Amino acid sequence: MSELIISVSGMRGIVGETLTPAVATEYGRAFGTFLMGSSESSGVRLKVCVGRDSRPSGEELLSAVAAGLCSVGIDVVDIGIVSTPCVGVMLRHLGCAGGIVITASHNPVEYNGIKLLLSNGIGPAAELAGQIRQRYFDKEFERVDPPQFGQVTFDKTTDAVHIEKVMAIIERETIAAKGFKVVLDSVNGAGGRIGKDLLGQLGCDVVAINDEPTGIFAHTPEPTKENLTGLCDKVAEAGADIGFAQDPDADRLAIVDENGGYIGEEYTVVLAAKYVFSKMKGTAAVNLSTSRMIDDVAREAGCEVIRTAVGEANVADAMVRNKCVIGGEGNGGVIDLRVGPVRDSLVGMALVLQLMAETGKTVSELVSEIGGYYVSKTKFAADKDQAGLICEKARELFTDAKINTTDGYRFDFDDGWVHLRMSNTEPVMRLIVEMENESIAKTYIDKVNDIREKILG
Ligand code: MG
């Protein structure tokens, strides 16, 4: 049985085994108690916005978390089946002290999770996440008398509020004039309803597949090449201009070109940035493991790129501090602060369609203009001490590299980079290498593997 994981982004486990309604209620009480303790305006009644992806276990866990919040005297606004970015948008729109999303993102249907957002729409930083986790384990919860118990209300305005914010960052008429044919694969997750609505309002001819929010995933949910053959076929068969794939909580977006070819998730944030940079000179923030294609696009536009530790909250936080015009992660996550500080597939779709509309170029033309690199992502078992040793040995070996130690060790060379970092959730070290081509990448991978074998045996 896999363990219940409590990390910076919240809690994740197997429904009915490690993640039960009792656990969810206590986690809700822990988060609620934390929010009441950190509230500057003491005496003010707090509310928390709660939504869920389409997993069948979602209603049970949402009700349980809401019960926990009510028991400590916090009101709950239930916004139902929505994407993760929707909760980020709505909690700020409604003036909530925090938000909770019941989702296990791209994990299989047996899993579910509880993701926490603070009043700014961003997940708690490591130190605050640690405090919430400790409170959950210590079971020191706020307790109120009956008149103060929280109440649950329901809000159905999410789609309209969110779409209005997305519309404000693009020019609807330019996109609508093109009448793009778009295939949208929502994997029967939470993004189908709002995704179709947005694309329809952008004047697209939408072919929706797997758009029932049943949580019975039509294919393995992570939006990677091997899981999207159905979408690729549909784009080719329909003669569409583009195919979009969302993950179950619709924060990630993968793209299929007009020939039915999967272009890879790394291009999503790069294409979005290319459009934004064409309108605004500014700075982008992405994590250390994101492709340097974004550096190329930024350089061409006279813009800058900031690199952050891996983790959505780290990117979003850096974006706010540096007033970034765009940001995200190479896993298909695009963040535009004008909509919200959360990775958002709707933002990704709108910005990419706008780029296509303004340039008059197809997806494959845009991709070949950007070019590409060879990227290898692997992982191996290692504990903290072993990981530290591996990084030290790599530092001794790669003396000609520029080194960034924000999150593990990232070594930058003229022809690419090597990133070694520990996973946030398991005793695993990740090795990401991006180089001009496969054979150069292999020489670096071999060098790291030599070090690894010497240390791990
Ligand atoms: Mg996700």
Instruction: With cut-offs at 50, 70 and 90, classify the pLDDT of residue 212.
Output: very high
Question: What residues are labeled active site?
Answer: 105
pLDDT tens, position by position, 104-116: 999 999 999 999 9
Q: Which two tokens stand for residue 35?
A: 């929010």
CA of 249 to the centre of ligand 1 (A): 5
CA of 247 to the centre of ligand 1 (A): 6
Angle subtended at Cα 275 by Cα 169 and Cα 346, rounded to the nearest 5 degrees? 50
Tell how far CA 19 is from the center of its chain: 22
pLDDT reported for residue 43 = 74
- pLDDT above 50: residue 337: yes
**How far are the Cα atoms of 193, 232, 355, 357, 359 from residue 362, in angstroms, in the given order?**
26, 16, 10, 9, 9
Q: Which two tokens stand for residue 94?
A: 């409604």
Distant-in-sequence, close-in-space partners of 365: CB < 8 Å, separation ≥ 6: none
pLDDT reported for residue 132 = 96
Per the DSSP assignment, residues forming a β-bridge with 307 are 286
CA of 449 to the centre of ligand 1 (A): 31
CA of 104 to the centre of ligand 1 (A): 7
Instruction: With cut-offs at 50, 70 and 90, classify the pLDDT of residue 39.
Output: low
pLDDT tens, position by position, 145-192: 999 999 999 999 999 999 999 999 999 999 999 999 999 999 999 999
The answer to whether 308 touches 335, Cβ cutoff 8 Å, is no
The answer to whether 183 touches 204, Cβ cutoff 8 Å, is no
- pLDDT above 50: residue 396: yes
pLDDT tens, position by position, 413-444: 999 999 999 987 778 999 999 999 999 999 99
CA of 289 to the centre of ligand 1 (A): 17
CA of 85 to the centre of ligand 1 (A): 9
Residues with CB under 5 A from ligand 1 (ion): 105, 247, 249, 251
Among all chains, which residue has been given the structure tokens 């118990």?
A: 149
- pLDDT above 60: residue 82: yes
Q: Which of 90, 86, 97, 88 is nearest to 32 (CA)?
A: 97
Interhelix angle 158-167/84-93, rounded to 10 degrees, is: 90
Instruction: Determine the Cα–Cα distance for residues 132 and 116; give it in Å rounded to an integer.
Output: 10
CA of 106 to the centre of ligand 1 (A): 6
Instruction: Determine the Cα–Cα distance for residues 302 and 451; give it in Å rounded to an integer.
Output: 39
